[in-house]
A = this chain, B = another copy of it.
Amino acid sequence: MLNKDLTKNQSLYSHALYFDPINQARVPGGNGRLHFKEFENVPGFRILDNGDVEITFYAPGAETVQLKGFGGSLPGYYDFEPVKEMPGYWKTVLKGIRPGFHYHTYFVNGVETIHPQMPVGYGGSYAVNFIEIPDPDFTDYLLKDVPHGSVHMEIYKSSITGRYRNCWVYTPPGYEKNTDKRYPVLYLQHGGGENETGWLWHGKINYIMDNLIHEGRCKEMIIVLNCGYNFKQVGEDRFILEDIDEVICKDCVPMIDEKYRTINDRNYRAIAGLSFGSIHARMTALGHLDLFSALGIFSGGFSYKSQGTLGVDSLGNYDYSETFASAEIFNNKMHLLFVGMGDKETEMVEVAKPKADKLASEGYNIVVRTYPGYHEWDVWRKCAVDMLEMLFKW
């Protein structure tokens, strides 16, 4: 059962466009009323005490308004009904949806659209709405009354594509005061169709770190979020995807080591990624053992040898067999290979897990975990928490 504190947690309402919603403009007759001291608000969504979610959509003139899950977490379509006492407004209640993160889209008169008052993120390669129902059994990602680290945006140039990139960097509370202290670094990659903002606004990795550090559950570390797409423009509307491990290792890692007080040593540098990003993490770690000594695969495949089928050499064409030759060889090179997945991700559970389990049972530094769920952020946050608790304790 939820309680008010959980449903009101501010982390559920923050996203890239705002930390605190205003929404006032969409109150009927509300034009300019923010100049007044007290005002009423029609929230885009309201988490009810039983965990159901009421969503309000201002769509005057619409004939139908619908909501549809994206990524599989909400089944089917939800129909909105017009609200008689509030002309132009439509409402629906999502009943019995499970806690967690839900990408979804809206259809007004059958045309897909964005709800301008709901949290907006980047998923499926475009702006998309999401909603978050708190889980009383997993609150590590909520904004709690603990010391908060900082999140930094850095801009750097890809020497490979000539384009500028940005990355987001988390530093623990006290980083700016403890000027003699140096920190290990975890690079953390998003999934397909998402980008560098994913682990920040969807994964809420900054709150996860704040909470884990406060509870003494993980080492203090720096976390770096990069975009997994390394574009090179080769024509008016034509792009090449250059290898992401190259830009991370050649351009980003040196920039981070120069700008932040890192421990510039492979033993204190790790990388993890989810789904598509697990491919990036694998090629970055196993392809650059001079720089990395730990790897996290969240909802990704488990293989160390493959012949190119994906069209990008480094994604589909690699052979890391040497590193996996024996437990002794592997453990000499890798402190940790963390493999996590949702227990309802059939292919992962049936294909990737047995392979990883087998090596783990043979003494490789491999940890395998499953979590209730599908291919979704709820699983990836839990992967991150468990891996963070293990990282750099060697």
Contact = CB atoms under 8 A, between A and B. Distances in A.
Contacts of A154: 148, 150
Interface stretch (A236-244, A283-291, A370-378): A236-244
A165 interface: yes
Given A114-B113, A125-B26, A153 B151 contact: yes
A125 B23 contact: yes
Nearest to A237: B41
Interface stretch (A213-221, A226-234, A299-307, A322-330): A226-234
A387 interface: no
Contact of A192 (B34, B125, B166): B34
A66 to B, nearest CB: 13
Interface in A4-58: 10, 14, 16-20, 22-26, 32, 34-43
A117 interface: yes
A33 B106 CA distance: 25
Interface size on A, as a range, is 35 or more
Given A20-B163, A125-B22, A311-B37, A179 B176 contact: no
A116 B127 contact: yes
A312 B19 contact: no
A233 B234 CA distance: 52
Contact of A61 (B36, B110, B120, B310): B110
Contacts of A352: none
Interface of A: 10, 14, 16-20, 22-26, 32, 34-43, 59-62, 108-114, 116-117, 120-122, 124-128, 143, 145, 148, 150-157, 163-166, 176, 179, 192-193, 195-197, 227, 229, 231, 234, 237-241, 259-260, 276, 310-312, 315
Given A36-B310, A151-B153, 12 more contacts: A18-B196, A19-B195, A22-B193, A32-B192, A34-B193, A36-B312, A37-B311, A37-B312, A42-B237, A108-B113, A151-B152, A179-B179
